[in-house]
Amino acid sequence: MAAAAHAVSQLQQKLPTLKAPKKFLSDAQYFNATTKNETLVRQLNSNSVVAKLEAMKKVIAQLSKGRDVSELFPAVVKNVASTSLEVKKLVYLYVIHYAEEKHDEALLSIAHFQKDMTDKSQHVRALSLRVLSSIRVPIIVQIVLLAIRKCTNDPSPWVRKAAALAVPKIYNLNQDEKPQLVQLIDQLLGDNSPTVHGAAAHAFCAVCPDNYELLHKHYRKLVRQLGQVDEWGQVVLLNLLLRYARTQFLSPFKEGYKQKKKFYASDSSSESDDDGYVEYEMDEDHRLLLNNALPLLQSGNHAVVVAVASLYLHLAPQVEFSSKIGKALLRILRSTRERQYIALIVIHTLATQRPAAFRPFIKQFYVTPADPIFTQQMKIDTLALLADSTNVNQIISEFKVYLHSAPEELLAGTVRALGRVAFNHHDVSETCLSTLAELTTHPNEIVVGESVVVTRHLLQKVTTGQGKIILRLTRLLSSLELPIARASIVWLVGEYLKVPQVAQVGPDTFRSLLKTFVKEDSSVKMQIVILGAKLMIHDYEEERVKERIADLFKYMLKLVQYDESYTLRDRVRIVKRILADDNGDLREKAQLIFAVAKKEADFTDPGEERTRFQTGSLSHVLNNQVSGYIPLAEFPTKQPDVSVRDDQMNYSSDDSDDSSESGTNDESDSFYSSSDDSAEKKTKKKARKVESKETESETESETESESKQETETESESESESESSESSEPVAKKKQPAKKAAKAEPVKQQQQQQQQQPPAKEEKKPTDLLQFMSDFTPAVGEKPQDTDTAVHSDPLASAWGFGQAEIDRSPEKAGKEPHGPATGDVSPKAEEEEEDE
Q: What is the DSSP string of 211-249?
A: -GGGGTTTHHHHHHTGGGS-HHHHHHHHHHHHHHHHHHS
- Split at pLDDT 50, 70, 90, the class of 18 is very low
Question: Do 524 and 487 contact (CB within 8 A), yes or no?
Answer: yes
Question: Do 151 and 117 contact (CB within 8 A), yes or no?
Answer: yes
CA distance 731 to 305: 85
Average the pLDDT over 810-825 and give the result: 39
Identify which of 670, 826, 614, 557 has the alpha carbon closest to the alpha carbon of residue 191: 670
CA distance 496 to 475: 16
CA distance 528 to 139: 74
CA distance 305 to 312: 11
Identify which of 367, 432, 439, 433 has the alpha carbon closest to the alpha carbon of residue 406: 367
Q: How confident is the prediction for the chain on average, in pLDDT? A: 75
Question: Do 398 and 366 contact (CB within 8 A), yes or no?
Answer: yes
Q: What is the pLDDT of residue 748?
A: 55
Question: Do 121 and 92 contact (CB within 8 A), yes or no?
Answer: no
Q: What is the pLDDT of residue 344?
A: 94
Which value, to the nearest 10 degrees, does the dihedral of the CA atoms of residues 207, 213, 215, 219 take? 160
Q: Is the pLDDT assigned to residue 257 strictly greater than 50? A: no
Q: What is the pLDDT of residue 695?
A: 53
Average the pLDDT over 385-402 and give the result: 89
Q: Is the pLDDT assigned to residue 327 strictly greater than 80? A: yes
Average the pLDDT over 332-337 and give the result: 90
- Split at pLDDT 50, 70, 90, the class of 185 is very high
Identify which of 252, 254, 246, 244 has the alpha carbon closest to the alpha carbon of residue 220: 244
| pLDDT, tens digit, 9 for 90 and up, residues 125-181 | 998 898 888 888 888 889 999 999 999 999 999 999 999 999 999 999 889 999 999
Q: What is the pLDDT of residue 817?
A: 39
CA distance 808 to 802: 10
Q: What is the pLDDT of residue 823?
A: 39
- The percent of residues in the chain predicted with pLDDT above 90, rounded, is 27
Q: What is the pLDDT of residue 730?
A: 38
Average the pLDDT over 111-123 and give the result: 87
Total Cβ atoms within 10 A of residue 621: 17
Q: Would you give the distance in Å from CA 753 to the centre of its chain? A: 64
Q: What is the pLDDT of residue 473?
A: 85
Question: Do 59 and 72 contact (CB within 8 A), yes or no?
Answer: yes
Average the pLDDT over 2-25 and give the result: 55
For the chain, the distance separating the N- and C-terminal CA atoms, rounded to the nearest angstrom, is 96
CA distance 773 to 783: 13
Question: Do 731 and 738 contact (CB within 8 A), yes or no?
Answer: no
- The percent of residues in the chain predicted with pLDDT above 70, rounded, is 69
Identity of the residue numbered 166: A
Q: Is the pLDDT assigned to residue 768 strictly greater than 60? A: no
CA distance 118 to 485: 76
Average the pLDDT over 215-238 and give the result: 93
Q: What is the pLDDT of residue 246?
A: 93
- Per DSSP, 318 falls in state G
CA distance 477 to 391: 36
| pLDDT, tens digit, 9 for 90 and up, residues 685-722 | 555 554 555 555 555 555 555 555 554 544 544 444 44
R_g of the chain computed on alpha carbons: 42
Q: What is the pLDDT of residue 687?
A: 52
Q: What is the pLDDT of residue 431?
A: 80
* H or E element that contains 4: helix 2-14
**DSSP state letters, 739-786:** HHHHHHHHHHHHHHHHHSPPPPPPPPP-HHHHH-GGGPPPTTSPPPPH
| pLDDT, tens digit, 9 for 90 and up, residues 26-47 | 777 777 777 888 888 888 888 8
